[in-house]
Structure 1
């Protein structure tokens, strides 16, 4: 830009020649220059105003558009994310089927130390060992007076302990807030819940991980923030569970048993209403597992799921039901029950010698080993194995517990004639009580396979039809007669039509053979027989009771009475009213036609050979 001089020489000289004033020329040029400067400043200011207006329009326009989009969208709760969400995320509660809390979270504090900040280490050691008697003073002195910069003292402390530590007044003792898992019902349902422990830890938080039971099986689900804290609803009923554990504990004491297991299961859904294993433990203070010896000696051992027992005569209903399903026999078919019978070099006896022949119904009622083996021989080993496999006795139960795979039945690798015979009356194949409960539920469910579950109202595909409804109905009728006039009379509870089978099996020695004075007694039952709704199973490990001047161990005098007391306590809790006298004629008529059936002639010939 060319700057115009205020006093141009040519004009000044010309003004002097004409006598004009040169200062006027300077004033004129100065005025013109000021006008140009003002115009330039005005244009710059206008540009800035336009730019600022554009910025404000864009900003307010963006805010307006965002407000409009939010107003038109569905309301959503904002969720903050942080790098520590994996540790800080809350573990979901576990409840029973009625919403009663079985496991929840509790805010507590951890105690840690910065040894280099301690003012009086000796006094601190004295006070800490007073507050926490389980601390080792020598170990604590080594840790607090050494070169360590950080030391965990207690991973969780009570409010009272926190106050006592605070009163010590040491700046080197610090607290960190964290959540811990709390089981408010103590021992109740301990084997089902399993327990939890701390995983990844920080001074202000800790990751809670399941270590057993459903806590471990559903660990990922319970810690998943996507579930928004929804509780895991189990199928068990807390009140029924508490009652079962109380009655089992009393029965275990009266029968001098080493352990006990009980299961109450819905027939139609497979949902477990109560399941107990004794001895048990407190998941708030879970004991350490045994490193040697018999695993069943540990309170952590779940006898209902992990126990592998030969379940004795409770198995006898399976070959009978299968043979009736195939049309080979019916309840009145006469079977040769002469005792003893021989299979190769092995001899099979009955508890009593019934002599001659027994009807199929009486074989179950009197619990004849010989008669059951005769029926198994009619079936043949292949068909027998196939049926037991369909009932689930060859694989672990699919129950939602990490312990389930350890309860896989012990099935013979070979299936010769003698194995087929012993398995028919419950020896030679070891399974868990839960396997047996599921198999009885299948029979009670009109022969349709029942899969046990611990989750309430879980939708699952319908089970396969493994037994015809007619054969299943006849089997329940026979089990009912076991209670009314057979080996399980001690289990009868008026008004509840219990149908079941006792089973007493000698315990095998680890070195081979069987103990002479140690048994596992079991009572598996269905009720009410006219409309099966529940399966109830009781197993006692090594029971023994003085009776008639001697020791009695059979299930009829040990497991059956305990089951009767359980039924008295549990049936009202699940809303099952006793059958009134007005309904008895109707029920009797329902069972009467079964007695009138006759066996096919061909079957009679086989049975009499």
Structure 2
């Protein structure tokens, strides 16, 4: 009896507890409903993500360093259908195909058949066609508002900003980087929908400089009848990419163009043997390791034989050369002998510290890994000294070149604004300040008395190094196809900017004896600096070369 009474009381207790829990839940739900009823519609909508909201996902504007818009969202509309509500499919197909002549009729009929609840018929329909479709009055067919990406700069910044797909998701360039940085997650939870303003993403690019570089590359392609060209402008103090152009390029407003392999971003995704610009790095390691000084004599009287290979000079002097003259005359023999004196182990260590063995670490997704020989015999050490036997991207050369002249600090390039202090925090020393000062002297000397004479621009004290590399072909190197380059810095006594121009397979200009870099890449650098110099440096300095050279000499003696 007592046991039965206990069980009855226990059952009543459980029922009472269940009633309390239910009342509590209903109370919470009721309170939430009252709260939502008192909340403005805009705030309620912020928590309610509809299918239409999903196709309205917004992206932040992309702007250059001065606030000029490089990418923005535009409103558009896309045609959809609810097949279960369409009714007469054949009639709908006939009507739609009459105003949308480019639509595939068979696919349209298939999409409208069946009882699916939603199907896209055509994305991003022009406004002139929307009214015509609307006037057809087809049940179950309507429009959803979307956003599409628009690039005011067109092809001039295509390789930098990249592009989005039909769903406005970034799939190339900085657009892809922005998604990878968290925008995709924001869109997934409804925090990046249409109507929500996102702070613009500011890049380090200067659109004025970008236009000038691209324009001069276009002129160079025509003038020298070349296949392709690359132009890079770096801030030597911060490693910010101020401009980067690769021609042929593509228009991000027409992303299909990016599928053309000839429109590859050669600046960061193409690897090449870039020839004698590598002598810049060979002489830097020779000077920095103490193997040579600027006045060390090098025997360049005869070709250098290593096993079955013979190394010649393009413009042979057939005499002893100082290290300074090795740079001035771009001697393959002299550079190879310096590399052999440094030794393969130290040469590889220097090149790795200069970033030449690894993929460029930067925000742009499209970057290529250098092609480096696995074995490193003496002949490899000798040929790499003048840029053969190792393939890198132009960006590798530009960044390493900046480290040669900025005091010896290497840091990865960036497409976002960066201060000099930030660069020094993440940078690493690769050569001493004294070596860097000597490299500035060498580049100035080559710019005034060597192969870089055609790159001179009054007021900007340009120094640099040419590179003329025979292109690798099956079975060896071509004697008629070259990749030419010029690596420059200005003003060379206090380098603020580095410019690299690369021209693929230039032809000799009419009346000129050669198609080497001094005849095409160097003049193109001069044209670029003459245009962008006034944008980047407010006051040119019209000093004579002797004064500039003295300033550099004092700098490395005092450091």
TM-score, normalised to structure 2, is 0.83
Displacement of 1:90 after TM fit?
A: 2.4
Matched, 1:211 2:171: yes
SS in 2 for 1:309: coil
Check if 1:152 corresponds to 2:152: no
Once the two structures are superposed, residues 543-578 of structure 1 have per-residue CA deviations (whole angstroms, 9 ceiling, x without a partner) of 11334376x331111211111111111111223432
> Shift of residue 359 of structure 1?
1.0
1:441 to 402, 411, 426: 402
Deviates more, 1:326-335 or 1:432-441: 326-335
Alignment of 1:92-103 (within 5 A): 92-103=60-71
Q: Are the structure 2 counterparts of residues 288 and 591 from structure 1 closer, same or farther at C-alpha, using a change threshold of 3 Å?
A: closer
Aligned counterpart, 1:370:
333
User: Hey, what does 1:318 align to over in structure 2?
Assistant: 281
> d(CA) in 2 for partners of 1:339 and 1:408?
36
Name 1:498's counterpart in structure 2.
462
Does structure 2 conserve the Cα–Cα contact (< 8 Å) formed by 1:488 and 1:560?
Answer: yes
In the aligned structure 2, how far is the partner of 1:566 from the partner of 1:239?
12
Structure-1 separation of matches of 2:184 and 2:428: 34
Q: Structure 1 pair 164/574, CA: closer, same or farther in 2 (3 Å)?
A: farther
Distance 1:232 1:222 in 2: 11
Which residues of 2 match residues 146-225 of structure 1 at below 5 A?
A: 146-147=113-114, 151-199=119-167, 208-220=168-180, 221-223=182-184, 225=186
Structure 1's 450 and 336: CA in aligned 2 closer, same or farther, altered over 3 A?
same
The alignment's C-alpha RMSD in Å is: 2.7
Question: Which deviates more, 168-177 or 249-258?
Answer: 168-177
State the partner residue of 1:231.
200
C-alpha change, 1:519 and 1:163, in structure 2 (3 Å) is same
Tell me which residue corresponds to 1:281: 250
Report if aligned partners of 2:277, 2:466 keep a CA contact under 8 Å in 1.
yes
Counterpart check, 1:387 vs 2:350: yes
Q: Residue 353 of structure 1 corresponds to which residue in structure 2?
A: 316
CA gap 1:564/1:164 in 2 versus in 1, 3 angstroms = farther
Q: Counterpart in 2 of 1:46?
A: none
Q: 1:476 to 1:592 in 2, by over 3 A?
A: closer
Structure-2 separation of matches of 1:410 and 1:388: 13
CA shift for structure 1 position 513: 1.7
Partner residue in 2 for 1:244: 213
Inter-CA distance 413–568: structure 2 relative to 1 (3 Å threshold): same
For the Cα contact (< 8 Å) 2:92–2:138, is it kept in 1? Answer: no
**1:297-331 Cα distance to aligned partner (Å, 9 max, x none):** 432x1100011000100000212112212222221
1:250 is paired with a residue whose SS is helix
CA distance in 2 between counterparts of 1:499 and 1:396 reads 27
1:244 to partner: Cα distance: 1.2
Q: Give the direction of change, closer, same or farther, for the CA distance of 1:343–1:141 in structure 2 (3 Å limit).
A: same
The answer to whether the 8 Å contact 1:257/1:540 transfers is: yes
Judging changes above 3 Å, is the alpha-carbon distance between structure 1 residues 588 and 346 closer, same or farther for their aligned structure 2 residues?
closer
Query: How much does 1:463 deviate?
Result: 1.2
Q: Secondary structure at the match of 2:500?
A: strand
- Partner of 1:26 in structure 2? none
- Per-residue deviation, 1:113: 3.4
Matched, 1:540 2:503: yes
- Are 1:455 and 2:416 matched, yes or no? yes
Cα 1:148–1:442 change in 2 (3 A) is: same
1:520 paired residue number:
483
Look up the match of 1:28: none
Count of matched residue positions in the alignment of Structure 1 and Structure 2: 500
The equivalent position to 2:433 in structure 1, one of 462, 469, 472, is 469
In structure 2, C-alpha distance between the alignment counterparts of 1:369 and 1:476, rounded to whole Å: 20
Q: Secondary structure at the match of 2:482?
A: strand
CA distance in 1: counterparts of 2:151 and 2:556, whole angstroms: 52
Match for residue 91 of structure 1?
59
- Residue 235 of structure 2 is matched in structure 1 by 266
d(CA) in 2 for partners of 1:482, 1:148 = 75
Equivalent position SS for 1:124? helix
Larger radius of gyration: 1
Structure 1: 5+ residue runs without aligned partners? 1-61, 67-76, 200-207, 598-609
Deviation at 1:249, TM superposition (A): 1.1
Displacement after TM superposition at 1:246 (Å): 1.3
Distance between the aligned counterparts of 2:138 and 2:72, measured in 1?
33
| SS of residue in 1 equivalent to 2:229 | strand
| Aligned residues of 2:444 and 2:549 also touching (Cα < 8 A) | no
Give the structure 1 partner of residue 28 of structure 2: none
- Per the TM alignment, residue 272 of structure 1 is displaced from its structure 2 partner at its CA by 0.5
CA contact (8 A) 1:332 1:595 kept: no
Q: In structure 2, which of residues 224, 230, 234 is the aligned counterpart of residue 255 of structure 1?
A: 224
Following superposition, the deviation at residue 596 of structure 1 comes to: 11
TM-score, normalization: structure 1?
0.77
Contact 1:129–1:137 under 8 Å retained in 2: no
